[in-house]
Structure 1
């Protein structure tokens, strides 16, 4: 049993002072109540640690390598994607494990407690399957275990190079499976996930309507009676145009008309949706999985957040390409995108809750829903995914309640304030530093030394 004493904590009943949180040996919160004289750890501010709902771990290793303009007159997502394919052609299973361990460590040091890994790098170069079909999925599990982060693994079905069903080429060949081989891979990966840790979970990820044909989508969804379903949706203008040309409808319009989208679903990006599509998606109860730093980096566009929130839509945030891993910067970038578009301030705030509070509450609840993980609340029975912060910093100045959250999000207070992180009771960050940081970084640096980074 671990006991945390918090000077203030955000609970389902709102802010509470002088709280004790007990974590049992299974990694769940056993009790929440008044402080006693016994405590293993003391923090000024205790928050539910959010789940990062969308990550491509391997892309962290190419952060900073794609910011020079290429030969195309207008650089875009599509030129970035070609560079990404060239980079990933080099990556071995050992590389993937080392990169993912570093990424997951950085997520914990940013205050996340768990991650939903949207994992599509399945095969060796040229698309040759490994003897162990789920080799790469198992490396993701091993990396999560090294870091101690909670994991929802989302193996990705990727069939085609576009809606015209053209063959996969270049780096894409490492992603490819038909539905039957994908389901076999999924079953093997599930065994590894369930053997690894009791809080680990599985989901399903048809990549997108460009990469998965209607028959393939129906086939894999028919085998997924439970667990989260994640899919990229309406990220780029060219994607919307391609889907419309081949399927006769825009991506969100087609998906909602052809599949019973509900609260199990998490649709990623959704940056190119009409107002009508925004309202319709909100009504399904699905989570809009937003990755504002990556969406800004790639020039994806701006999610219609104010309209979606006004319709009661659920949102969460993820780090996607992992160009920068900062939970609070994701929240700030989301809010600022709405302000810049609408020439407004406090765009997502409500009458009773500040902007930072609205964003944090939404990300905590939406991440938990998208990851199929009982977190996002400091309450008995939930997994103990918790983040402890100090408030005696120049950015927070001892602030309390919503003002403390606003300072973490908008005043740059997060990195200096983070002190302790637990993931399903695993105390993996202490005094702001991951307990295995030195070893994880050393292994990552050795693997990176062998990679060609001139892409």
Structure 2
């Protein structure tokens, strides 16, 4: 009998269920799913006991390889330092990475994400080709290295092979972008390979990445969408920088989000990553579309992107999730905290994330919204502690909270606003414990491989 075939039982003094917080919750888990949830119950002999159980978050947007340059781009090298100058350093790293390097870097990141409270990562993957621009013998080699890293750590992954055609609106790829070059047929082939090898694994999902409107023309976008299923997630960078908005207006005659909503079948399976620079009409229309805004506050702050108009968006029913993007600081707590604090600094008032007509816990609203938006954007069968869903759990270390004896929403407020990181003790993915007492069984091996890889890349 395999570990997933037997029934496991866990008893939580408090658990966040779809209907809200419940006390004394007994969870039955089998075949990687929650089977039965009983609140106001009593523990039985052999039950694993814990104080606080949460459904874990998804990081809906990640470029794993960029974890290898965390903290290395914080020296001014240009008087007009910006996203565009940072990108040159990122390209220099991207030029050197092999599939083995990718696996080692991603495994370290995914381990950190698990310990931060994430159990699914949306990997927006465009580093497709060999350093000379040729295809690998297995064209999906780099994507498969990311999937291997996810399997090594136990995290769930939504791999998003990303179409990348142009250096900018109407411009051919630059030499430093030759590893990103792809066609709809090339991306479809990667998706077919991943599906053929991994569709039976409940932790591995796939979707489609469209790099951006500056990198994917109208014809390629339409062709790519016609080649993939109508039920898989579709992610795209959009309106991250004001320069991008200006260039889009000049080239396409419309702002990028407006163009996308006019010309593409944007609906609930879409994730518009960043969408930082919206006007009032775009904000209203994006909220009404059912798409998820993929917000990455730590990276957006690091790159000087700007602030998303969160309150106006959520007050019109807009959905959002969070991503760790450049992975310069993989932290669920920091993403949520900075999302709220950025709004406070802009509006010069407190408790800004809530829709305008809502009162209550900011932490609870942020967590619920990021949970739902991330699960939807990553297209996986988790995100809730409920029968029939993938059995993912984040167990908090009650002793590591800033204050003792917290109850219900005060747990989330304290976890986000009064803890440096989410105080994770244990993590379960698809019915299997991957972190116990803060320890991952492969962490020493994974860290050693990561350090050796980064030393070699930097030399």
- TM-score surpassing 0.5? yes
Following superposition, the deviation at residue 353 of structure 1 comes to: 3.1
1:436 maps onto 2:442 in alignment:
yes
Greater shift in the superposed pair: 76-85 or 36-45: 36-45
Q: Does 1:118 align with 2:124?
A: yes
The equivalent residue for 1:205 is 209
2:10 aligns to what?
A: 4
Q: Is the 8 A contact 1:114 1:149 kept in 2?
A: yes
Show the counterpart of 1:244.
249
Pair 1:287 & 2:292 matched:
yes
1:49 aligns with 2:56: yes
**Kindly tell me: are residues 425 and 190 of structure 1, through their superposed partners in 2, closer, same or farther at Cα, counting changes over 3 Å?**
same
| 2:279 paired residue among 274, 283, 304 | 274
How far apart in 1 are the matches of 2:155 and 2:28? Answer: 20
Give the unaligned 5+ runs of structure 2: 1-6
Q: Distance in 2 between matches of 1:113 and 1:158?
A: 28
Q: Choose from 77, 83, 89 the match for 2:89.
A: 83
Deviates more, 1:346-355 or 1:172-181: 346-355
Indicate the SS of the match to 1:163: coil
CA shift at 1:247, angstroms? 0.9
Aligned partners of 1:121, 1:358: CA distance in 2, in Å? 35
After the TM superposition, which residues 135-146 of structure 1 pair with which residues of structure 2 at under 5 Å, given as runs?
Answer: 135-146=141-152
SS of aligned partner of 1:127: coil
Q: Secondary structure at the match of 1:188?
A: helix
Aligned 8 A contact 1:386 1:422 in 2 = yes
Q: Secondary structure at the match of 2:400?
A: coil
Query: What is the distance in 2 between the residues matched to 1:181 and 1:12?
Result: 40
Look up the SS of the partner of 2:27 in the other structure.
strand
C-alpha contact (below 8 Å) 1:49/1:387 kept by paired residues: yes
Superposition map of 1:60-209 within 5 A: 60-70=67-77, 72-164=78-170, 166-194=171-199, 197-209=201-213
Q: By how many angstroms is 1:40 displaced?
A: 4.2
Aligned partner of 1:398 in structure 2 is 405
Q: CA deviation at 1:413?
A: 5.6
Superposition TM-score, scaled by structure 2 size: 0.95
Q: Indicate the residue corresponding to 2:326 in structure 1.
A: 321
Q: Is the 8 A contact 2:132 2:179 kept in 1?
A: yes
What residue in structure 1 maps to residue 4 of structure 2? none
User: How far apart are residue 349 of structure 1 and its match?
Assistant: 3.4
| Among candidates 418, 423, 444, match of residue 411 of structure 1 | 418
Q: Which whole-Å CA distance do the structure 2 matches of 1:31 and 1:437 have between them?
A: 32
Cα distance, 1:38 vs structure 2: 3.2
TM-score by length of 1: 0.96
Q: Matched residues in 2 for 1:442 and 1:343: separation? A: 45
Q: 2:3 maps to which residue?
A: none
- Is the alpha carbon distance of 1:6 and 1:175 closer, same or farther for their aligned partners in structure 2, counting shifts above 3 Å? same
Looking at structure 1, the residues matched to 283 and 46 of structure 2 have their Cα atoms a distance apart, in angstroms, of 47
**Over residues 158-215 of structure 1, what are the superposed CA-to-partner deviations in whole Å (9 max), with x where a residue is unaligned?**
0111111x222233110111222222232223323325x2331110011100000000
Residue aligning to 1:229? 234
Is 1:368 paired with 2:368?
A: no
Contact 2:202 2:430 in 1 (8 A): no
Secondary structure of the residue aligned to 2:214 is: coil
Query: SS of the counterpart of 1:118?
Result: strand
**2:311/2:354 contact within 8 Å kept:** no
Partner residue of 1:302?
A: 307
SS at match of 1:367: helix
Is contact 2:401–2:414 with CA below 8 Å preserved after alignment? no
Q: Distance in 2 between matches of 1:148 and 1:39?
A: 24
For structure 1, which segment, 84-93 or 37-46, has the greater mean C-alpha deviation from structure 2 after superposition? 37-46
